[in-house]
Structure 1
């Protein structure tokens, strides 16, 4: 097991767990926040890439460049949808839905890699589905429009895009983490520039800018460098388990700092979601241990 990669992924997930707290304090909409964080991250990664001399030894692979661009599209959409969800729902609820991503990875593997969907996998999907219903509280919505505006759809879309990001980035090998993340943040700048409203940056406080810059330099540049540097050196099962660090930190910050208190049904729903996700990783880990011995 690559201990260094495990530590890097754990740190990246712990830092990313605070993204919701930063987001709600930036004072700007989701799309503009993603745009500006892509700019700051690109500057940060370019500087680090240059200072480490990595740009001189980079091994460019045309196939991986196209794959990284596609991964970047999914990653940017993932951020936009996640931040939109933060605008409408509590961080803990959003993160719980967002972390359905491993379930979608399981479905993608079944659809595109012809992996067999086991009874355990079906149980995991069903458990997460029921948990999601409990979390969002379908009975509280009087119309489809009210449901669509609740934030649940945004959180679900962010989970799907996050799963597609993991799915498309897993096989990247020749491009360095700097090159990978640099390409993806450039994709974000190009994608969002035509849609950004620069008027939202007028009148922001110094604290707002501190949180905005933090999401760019720390949560985008630094975190995604660690993420892509570690994910390629770890088994998928280990990656799935360590991603639990993210929601744990997010929920702790939401309850301790922002005083969020879920209802009993929402608490049950959160437990169902994470219980379902554990079902997707428990059996493979057990099998891996048995194979080792």
Structure 2
């Protein structure tokens, strides 16, 4: 195991776990916050792209650029819906639903790539679905109006958009992570610019601006640098495990700083979701594969 890469990924996930707390302290709507975030990420990661001179070795292709642009669209809406969810419901609950994304990737793979869904995988999907119902409350599932007000729809849409980002991005093999992120954040700026209400930035306090720039340069630029710089040197299994540092930190901050106290039903729902996801992304290898590895 590359210890330096593991530490970098752990730090990036721990920092990103505080993005919900930062979001509700910015004092601006989700669309404007994502717009600033895209600008900061473009400046930070674009600068690193130039400094490292990675742009000289890029392998551009029309197909991958189109895929990257599509990823950028889904990534932007993913951020917007997630930040809206933070403003409408407790961070812990929004993060739990948001982390359903790997389950949606599994479903998309079964539908569009004809990947075989095993019985354990289907059971994991059912368990995660039951968990989301327990989180939002059984009595509210029958009312779309209540679900929307509670942020459930926003959190679910953010998970779907994140899943689409991962699903479409699987086909991008040659572009560097700098180029990938640079194109995606440029797409975000272009999409959001016509909708931005610049008057929301008037009257903001110094504290508001620190949180806004923090989500841009720290949670997007710096975190993405650490994340992309580390995952290429780690196994898929370890990456899948360390990614869960993000929701763990988010839930702990929500409970410690914002005094969120989940009900027993909501705790059970979160356990259902994370249990199903952990089984899906960190399932043990088949017995025959273990035998082959030992033999080799």
**TM-score bracket for the superposition, by shorter chain length:** over 0.9
* Other-structure match for 2:66: 66
Moved more, 277-286 or 124-133: 277-286
8 Å contact from structure 2 (residues 37, 217) kept in 1:
yes
* Other-structure match for 1:9: 9
Moved more, 204-213 or 138-147: 138-147
* Aligned equivalents of 2:70, 2:197: Cα separation in 1: 25
8 Å contact from structure 2 (residues 136, 147) kept in 1:
no
Aligned residues: 293
* Aligned equivalents of 1:170, 1:290: Cα separation in 2: 29
Moved more, 280-289 or 256-265: 280-289
- The answer to whether structure 1 residue 151 and structure 2 residue 151 are counterparts is yes
- The answer to whether structure 1 residue 166 and structure 2 residue 166 are counterparts is yes
* Cα shift at 1:291: 4.4
8 Å contact from structure 2 (residues 71, 168) kept in 1:
yes
* Cα shift at 1:62: 2.4
CA RMSD of aligned residues (A): 2.1
* Other-structure match for 1:45: 45
* Cα shift at 1:141: 6.9
- The answer to whether structure 1 residue 292 and structure 2 residue 286 are counterparts is no
* Other-structure match for 2:278: 278
* Cα shift at 1:292: 2.5
For residues 252 and 152 of structure 1, do their structure 2 counterparts lie closer, same or farther at Cα, with a shift above 3 Å needed?
Answer: same
- The answer to whether structure 1 residue 265 and structure 2 residue 262 are counterparts is no
* Other-structure match for 2:27: 27
* Cα shift at 1:53: 2.1
* Other-structure match for 2:208: 208
* Other-structure match for 2:81: 81
Deviations 1:97-138 (A, max 9, x none): 001111111111111222111111111011111111110013
* Aligned equivalents of 2:169, 2:239: Cα separation in 1: 12
8 Å contact from structure 1 (residues 16, 223) kept in 2:
yes
* Aligned equivalents of 1:11, 1:53: Cα separation in 2: 25
For residues 91 and 285 of structure 1, do their structure 2 counterparts lie closer, same or farther at Cα, with a shift above 3 Å needed?
Answer: farther
Show the 5 A alignment for 1:70-149.
Answer: 70-140=70-140, 143-149=143-149
8 Å contact from structure 2 (residues 133, 141) kept in 1:
no
* Other-structure match for 2:193: 193
8 Å contact from structure 2 (residues 241, 282) kept in 1:
no
* Cα shift at 1:144: 2.5
* Cα shift at 1:10: 2.9
Deviations 1:120-175 (A, max 9, x none): 11110111111111100131478432222210000001111111112222343321
Moved more, 229-238 or 130-139: 229-238
* Aligned equivalents of 1:163, 1:29: Cα separation in 2: 23
Deviations 1:46-100 (A, max 9, x none): 2222222223333323222111111111111100000000010000000000011
* Aligned equivalents of 1:292, 1:229: Cα separation in 2: 28
Deviations 1:258-281 (A, max 9, x none): 111101111111111111112213
TM-score for both structures, normalised by structure 2: 0.91
For residues 152 and 210 of structure 1, do their structure 2 counterparts lie closer, same or farther at Cα, with a shift above 3 Å needed?
Answer: same
* Aligned equivalents of 2:183, 2:213: Cα separation in 1: 20
8 Å contact from structure 1 (residues 171, 232) kept in 2:
no
* Cα shift at 1:233: 5.6
For residues 229 and 70 of structure 1, do their structure 2 counterparts lie closer, same or farther at Cα, with a shift above 3 Å needed?
Answer: farther
